[in-house]
Each structure stands twice: as C-alpha cells, then as structure tokens.
Amino acid sequence: MAGPLTGIRVLDLSRILAGPWATQCLADLGAEVIKVERPDVGDDTRTWGPPFFEDGDKPVSAYFMCANRGKKSVTIDFTKPEGQALIKKLAEKSDILVENFKVGGLAKYGLDYDSLKAVNPGLIYCSITGFGQTGPYKDRPGYDALIQALGGLMSITGEPDGMPGGGPQKVGVAVTDLFTGLYSTIGILGALHHKARTGEGQHIDMALMDTQVAVLANQSMNYLVSGKEPKRLGTAHPSIVPYQVFASADGHMMLAVGNDGQFARFCEAAGMPEVAADPRFKSNPGRVENREVLIPMVAEAIARKTTDEWIALLEAHNVPGGPINTMERVFDDPQVEARGITLALKAEDGSVMPSVANPIHYSGTEISYDKAPPALGADTDAVLADVLGITPESLKLVKATKVLG
C-alpha cells in the first residue's frame, strides 16, 4: 500500500538541513517532493564534504544524502522573471511549499505567501527562519550552533566548570535544525487536516529559536518552577540518580536507573544490597539529594568489571545499561539490523547508495524507499512536462532563456 501522503505534492525551496529534513519526512510518507535548486550550483550541502559518494561523474556529499532522499531535483533560476513564472505555476499545482529564506527574501520575486496565496488559496506555505517572522531578531541570520547557544542548550551541555574538559558544548549533530524540521512536519500535517476540513491553506511560521527553547523540556520547567539555573552535569541527569556514564575496567558504559526497583536490583547485581537499604538512597529524591555520596560508591563498584561483564549482569537483573557504541558498533548492532534501519538505495548510475530509514513504522501504509537523493537537475524536464504540461518545443524555448541552467 502507498504511503499516507500519496497524492500530496510538495514544492521544496529549502536548502541546508531544517527545511530539507522536513521535506524528506514528507517524501518518506509518500508525498511527491519537487526540490527546486539553483542551476549549476544546487543546495549548498551538495559540496559539504568530504566524504562524498561517487555517483558516476557527479559526487554527492554524505551531508546532502542525509536529508534529500525520495525527492525530484529541478533547477530553476527564480531571480529571472521566467523562473518566477515557473515557480508560480508549480505552486499553483502544489499542496505545500517549504522555504527557508530570510524574512521577506522571496517577496521581491513575487514568491512570498501573500503572492502565492493569490494563485492557490489552499496552499500550505511553511517558512523556516532563525528567529521567526516577527520580533526584534527577525532579520538576523540563524544557524544551528548559534541557536544552541542563544536558546540555552549549550548552557546545560558539557562537563561542569572546574572538571577536565569543563565548559559549554554543542550537541554532536545539528539538533536544533533537526527538531525544527520535525516540528515543521508536524505543523504541515496539522495544516493538511485543517485544509481537508475547510479547503483553506495557511502560512506556518517556524523559527529555530522557538524550537530550541521549546525542546529544553524538563530543564526549562526546572528553571521556571524553581528559579534556579540548571547546571552542566556532563552525562549525568539533573533529576534521576544514578543515570550517567561510568568507567568500567576496560572502558566506559551508561547506567540508566530510572526507578527505585531498578536501583535495588542494580545494588543486588553489584553486591552491595546494603546501599539499596540505606534511607538516604531508597528513593530517587534521596539519591538526587545525596548524589555526591552515592556516585563514588557506584563508580567504585562498576570499575571492578568490564563493560561486557556489566551488560550481561545488568540484563540478567533487568537493569537498563549499555556500552558507548561507536558508529561501527551501532550499525552492526543486531537490534539495528533487525529493525531495518540501514537502507541501500539504487543511484542513477546503478550503484548502491547507503541511507538511514525513517523511524516511523506503519501497519497499513508502509514507507517505501524508491528514490535515492537526486543528481542536480535530474528531474527538471520530466517535472515541467508532467506537472506543467510543457511540450518539448516549449521546453526548448524555456531553456533558451538559461533559466534552467
């Protein structure tokens, strides 16, 4: 059975990560996604490497591959009037448009929401910017690492001051971009339901800064409730103990004790049942309050065995814990293999492109992966012919304007 968004057309004017992540999600769900790129240049991330996947004479960066599966690439120069006309015609025949230009950046081309709403009142138009369409920062550029800093995430990420390697850190992947892409997808799906009921499209205003503050989650609520600034705790948790990385006899491992029963079972596995019975440690609030006393005791116990010995012991006692896997170990993990997370997509030259599956599993509308990340402009002629009905003769005239590159 086809994906749940089969029959929905998305016009993707976005580039880099947040917007393409959203449109890749929509493509995974079955939507037709037409990615509009600059002629001869394309999405900036096409050259963000190495590493590159060698697809014939057109190498594709691994970065571009991570967010552009399942799309059609069309090259149109919409700084030219002829290009603007083509985009308007595509927007007229689309359900959704996603863009991440600076505030007002598309208005001078007549491609802003108000202009395109006039030709397609049902259009769902999602704008992704650093700071949103309003507010004193709306005209500032916004990048993931900057927003991780401004939005509070770096203040709670990293080792505490005074510890080896202490100081603020950014997360190892661009989580603000990725979360914004996911929230954009959620917003678009909500707008699609509204459109199904009313026939009305609307403008969705997404901001990286808004998203970053929203996903502070329990840390922001800890501050708002207590008035106290959360501290950097390295791998430890502000509200659960013991819940952090410990050094084993041959490396490191994660111990993730989530409740009092698990703590009692851990103490039994570690050969220190008296610690579980200690009034200071019997409940999680007590363990949090007495963190400085308890953690050295746990660390001493874990240091006596290897990581593999601990993983086997914890599994036998039904206590959550695991190794700190490298990428190689992640993709060799039997659970990852069993869930089919690693994909092999056929590229245009017949070679096999690696990819990582969407984590959504439907029982009735299974996601299919039929199209590898496209070569630049690979679908231009087909899209203009199939969607806009441009004849081969007319296409020659369009190409003569150099608007397609």
Task: Give, in degrees to the nearest 5, the angle at Cα 253 between 265 and 221.
Answer: 80
- Report whether 95 contacts 124 (CB < 8 A): yes
- Catalytic entry in 28, 55, 112, 177: 177
- For the record, the structure tokens of 371 come out as 């199209």
Instruction: Tell me the residue type at 389.
Output: G
Catalytic (active site) residue 177? yes
Query: What is each CA distance from 247 to 93, 102, 213, in whole angstroms?
Result: 58, 46, 33
Q: Which helix (H) or strand (E) holds 309?
A: helix 307-316
- For the record, the structure tokens of 387 come out as 């969607």
Alpha-carbon span 36 to 374, nearest angstrom? 11
Enumerate residues 6+ apart whose C-beta is below 8 A from 69.
24, 27, 28, 345, 355, 369, 371, 372, 373
Alpha-carbon span 35 to 76, nearest angstrom? 10
Q: How many CA atoms lie within 13 A of 304 on its CB side?
A: 10
Dihedrals phi, psi of 268, to nearest 5 degrees: -65, -45
Query: What is each CA distance from 127 to 1, 111, 185, 235, in whole angstroms?
Result: 31, 12, 12, 35
* Rg of the chain over all Cα atoms, to the nearest angstrom: 25
- Report whether 275 contacts 254 (CB < 8 A): no
Residue listed under structure tokens 């707008």: 191
SS3 labels along 74-93: EECCCCCHHHHHHHHHHHHC
Q: Which residues pair with 243 in a beta bridge?
A: 256
Alpha-carbon span 212 to 217, nearest angstrom? 10
Dihedrals phi, psi of 387, to nearest 5 degrees: -85, -45
- For the record, the structure tokens of 156 come out as 């709670």
Residues taking part in catalysis: 177
